[in-house]
Structure 1
């Protein structure tokens, strides 16, 4: 294994900075000198300062960190300050190892030993940079002797100005309570017309999971196409996070909804011993 705290990939006019020690996160994505994602500080100490990080082996919140699989009961500690609901699995809070690196390609891995999440697994990210884009694969392999629930997603942060628009085909939204846990599903639009393309701004927090995601989201700046995000076919959900007053937003392709153990047809999979789940995210840059 290669031991690097920060590494940089290049493909002509495009550069990608990775932080294996900070959640296996993306630090910067530059094309012709322009940042196409939120720029990470030079020495990030928290993955929440980065440009994107992996969600493995589940996405978003699990209510009170508690669920049951058959007769097995699981209780996980909070992992975001005093917020009571466990978020995003273990990968985003872990150090990843650099398994492979070339000028435009890198492979990061993270192995989890059974603890309060009582399954052992290996997560893997493959980054492939091209002259005007990036593709990332994220996978998880169940290394335990029993079946493991598993979900995957990406948590990219994009820059936002008053002129930024987001366009994405979705068919509904999960309404959420004050803890951002889903309560009921609403068909069609809510506050924003994402299918038509709407401004990424609001006077209140948007932190909602949208269903029926068709695998493509386009970001525009002042009416000009900036980037296109595509995701693998099983990422049927797009979680959109727009904090008021900030200069960034998130459009997160995921393969299950938040709090999946408390909702039917949530998208969460069950991996048999030795099975692998895989998703990908592709970002095309328009200069």
Structure 2
């Protein structure tokens, strides 16, 4: 499914994982495009994170007096990762020339013991993409819900990224949060910094301002979120992509900074805008 508006083109997979397959501006990749025919989320341009973002340590956590255990959901990962909806089947609920809403329903099961409905809406305009992600509880019990988007930005044409935050959770060798640090512990991103570096960056910034500027040779791009207080930055050395992920919670949030209970019938939401600066 392809939407077009002005210089922008968005390709969506309306079935597999609710994934974005490509996002381009004036023919240039803003997000890393999916390989032709691939339905693998980790090869996508972007996928949704819900009902939790990043990892839950060993899948074990306590919630409102009960203990829960989730099995790993990805090969070679001992910790369940990124929730359930990125591995789910989706369907088109509404569509028009420049707007699409996808939906998937999750029954309470061993992957997540609470029921919910998840929706994604994509609006494409001449300015860029406005996306939203919402989880509505269809369970009878409160549940801990965290949301995120996982965009894979193309590194070609990118000269620097810039953002501000209040702090940082450093990850250990298993990519779990291990210690807090000042926001500039890995370098000062506030004035813009290049992505070329020898070390792996895979850490979560707290108190994110909600804006990240991507300096590009063909014109800057802004990543924005009004309600994503956390920004997970993934910059692998020598690769052709980087990830800047707006999230409502930190990794392993249920064991560290648990979200407020989502009550039956209530919704949690996250927005993400990718547009020309």
Match of 2:151 in 1: 156
* 8 A contact 2:144–2:254 mirrored in 1: no
Does residue 122 (structure 1) correspond to residue 113 (structure 2)? The answer is no
- Structure 1 length normalisation: TM-score? 0.92
Q: CA deviation at 1:44?
A: 1.2
Q: CA deviation at 1:226?
A: 2.3
Q: CA deviation at 1:225?
A: 4.0
Q: What is the rounded CA distance, in whole Å, between the counterparts of 1:47 and 1:83 in structure 2?
A: 15
Alignment partner for residue 144 of structure 1, among 133, 139, 146? 139
Alignment partner for residue 188 of structure 1, among 183, 198, 201? 183
- Structure 2 length normalisation: TM-score? 0.95
Does residue 282 (structure 1) correspond to residue 273 (structure 2)? The answer is yes
Give ranges in structure 2 of 5+ residues lacking alignment: none
Q: Deviations over 1:139-170 (max 9, x none)?
A: 00000001011011111111114853110111
Q: Deviations over 1:22-76 (max 9, x none)?
A: 2101111122211111111121131110111111111001000111212322211
Q: What is the rounded CA distance, in whole Å, between the counterparts of 1:203 and 1:111 in structure 2?
A: 42
Does residue 199 (structure 1) correspond to residue 194 (structure 2)? The answer is yes
Go from structure 1 to structure 2 and tell me whether the alpha carbon gap of 1:189 and 1:162 turns closer, same or farther (over 3 Å shift): farther
Q: CA deviation at 1:201?
A: 2.4
Q: Secondary structure at the match of 2:32?
A: coil
Superposition CA RMSD, Å:
1.5
Alignment partner for residue 89 of structure 1, among 83, 86, 97? 83
Q: What is the rounded CA distance, in whole Å, between the counterparts of 2:157 and 2:18 in structure 1?
A: 30
Q: What is the rounded CA distance, in whole Å, between the counterparts of 1:156 and 1:281 in structure 2?
A: 10
1:55-134 alignment runs, 5 A limit: 55-116=49-110, 117-134=112-129
Q: Secondary structure at the match of 1:64?
A: helix
* 8 A contact 1:218–1:225 mirrored in 2: no
Q: What is the rounded CA distance, in whole Å, between the counterparts of 2:258 and 2:102 in structure 1?
A: 25
Runs of 4+ in 1 over 6 A off after TM superposition: none
Match of 1:16 in 2: 10
Give ranges in structure 1 of 5+ residues lacking alignment: 1-6
